[in-house]
Amino acid sequence: MSDKVYRVCEPFLNGNETKYVMDAVSTGWISSSGAYVNKFEEAFSSYCGVKHGIAVCNGTVALHLAMAALGIGKGDEVIIPSFTMIATAFAVCYTGAVPVFVDADKDTWNIDVKKIEEKITSKTKAIIPVHVFGNPCDMSAICDIAKRHNLFIVEDAAEAHGATYKGRKVGSFSDIACFSFFANKNVTTGEGGMCVTDDDRYDKLCRYYKNVCFNPDGPRDYMHQDIGFNYRMSNIHAAIGFAQTEKADEYKKMRMGNHALYKKYLSDVPGVLFQKDEQDSENVGWMNTIVIDPDKYGRTRDELIAHLKDNNIDTRLLFKSMHIQPSLIKYGCDCSGGYPVTEWLSENGFYLPSASDLTEEDIAHICSVIKDFAR
């Protein structure tokens, strides 16, 4: 057994992070008013191919801010995938609206576009497609549905920095798109998020609401016309994010390379299943995720996880379906009906170590432990 411990994910800080943070600290600009906030917003929105970026303190509030800017509130419904991190649903709940769930596609694990329209009602105001694990959704189909039913689109691109669909970056297909910069993301600030948009009005509204509704065009007279939020990002976090964005394509290439290596070494192992890329897309492989078919692999998912732990290889379970979450049941979501693909993913899938700087030797070792344990 190797003495090395393989964590699920660790941040990779290999650029100007220290230089820019020290500049922010030494000049005293550590709040949300420093120059790195603007630099990060401009650099990251440009990277996504859109006009505006609005930096915030995490990805969850980015989603909430986007929906506040779009006027979504009590009495409205928002369609989300049942297979997602619960922050997607919580952000809808913060507005007073109700999340409505759609099962995952068995191949791509993204929202099943064929099942979206059956969930649309007169109360539906928006769709939130989630680019799961860095795999872009079928945005052509989703945009067509939204246009037919006059719905907003808010992309949850928290896991998909730099991913492309039909040659365009994710984040450029929606009214507002939202990113997370948590420590395990391809581009990180430790904690942080961003809304990106091409719409000047939504940009202005996001900036207004994120800064407790101070008048962006007038003096700070401490008169507030609306209820806003303190969702600002600090200049220190933005300094890290600006440095990370400078090397975003390099980090993306590393993640995609690691994803390809996992597939290379595990492709001949019966019962080990990978997410299939959406057609005409570029999956950035944010997390290297596998699903275990116990009949073919000869062991259960949980037996394999325990074996990997014994070999110093850390793992994480996948999301639990939204329709079984006690919090959302208590909130009043319609949790009836079945979500078989989501349940199958939750019961049989897990993350493998996915840090950007894993070596081929690391991945080969992890895969050998998985191969050797199969019956």
What average pLDDT does this structure show over 286-299? 98
pLDDT of residue 3: 84
Say if residue 132 is in the same domain as residue 275.
no
Q: Is residue 7 part of a domain?
A: no
At 181, is the pLDDT very low, low, confident or very high (cuts 50, 70, 90)? very high
Mean pLDDT of 131-145: 98
Same-domain status, 214 and 274: no
pLDDT at 311 over 70: yes
Range of the domain at 367: 249-373
pLDDT digits (tens, 9 = 90+) for 201-241: 999 999 999 999 998 787 888 999 999 999 999 999 999 99
199 and 312 assigned to the same domain: no
Give the CATH number of the domain where residue 282 resides: 3.90.1150.10
Q: What is the mean pLDDT of the chain?
A: 97
Could you give phi then psi for residue 21, rounded to 5 degrees? -65, -45
Decide which of 248, 282, 298 is a domain's last residue.
248
Quote the pLDDT of residue 217. Answer: 80
Residues 231, 262: one domain? no
Do 282 and 200 reside in the same domain of the chain? no
Output the domain CATH number for residue 212.
3.40.640.10
**Would residue 4 count as lying in a domain?**
no
Residues 222 and 253 in one domain: no
| Least reliable range by pLDDT among 31-35, 193-197, 357-361 | 31-35
Which residue, 248, 277, 312, sits at the end of a domain? 248
Could you tell me the two tokens for 347?
């019961």
Residue 230, amino acid: N
Q: 96-117: per-residue pLDDT in tens?
A: 999 999 999 999 999 999 999 9
If asked whether residues 226 and 304 sit together in one domain, one would say: no
Q: Does residue 275 sit within a domain? A: yes
Return the pLDDT at 375.
Answer: 85
Question: How many structural domains comprise the chain?
Answer: 2
| 244 and 254 part of one domain | no
Residue 276 shares a structural domain with residue 230: no
The predicted pLDDT at position 168 comes to 98
Whether 276 and 182 share a structural domain: no
Q: Is the pLDDT of residue 1 over 70?
A: no
Total-model pTM: 0.96
Residue 12 resides in a domain = no
3 in a structural domain: no
151 and 108 in a common domain: yes
pLDDT tens figures, 28-58? 999 999 999 999 999 999 999 999 999 999 9
**Are residue 219 and residue 305 in the same domain, yes or no?**
no
Examine the fold and report which residue of 233, 248, 263 is the final residue of a domain before the chain moves on. 248
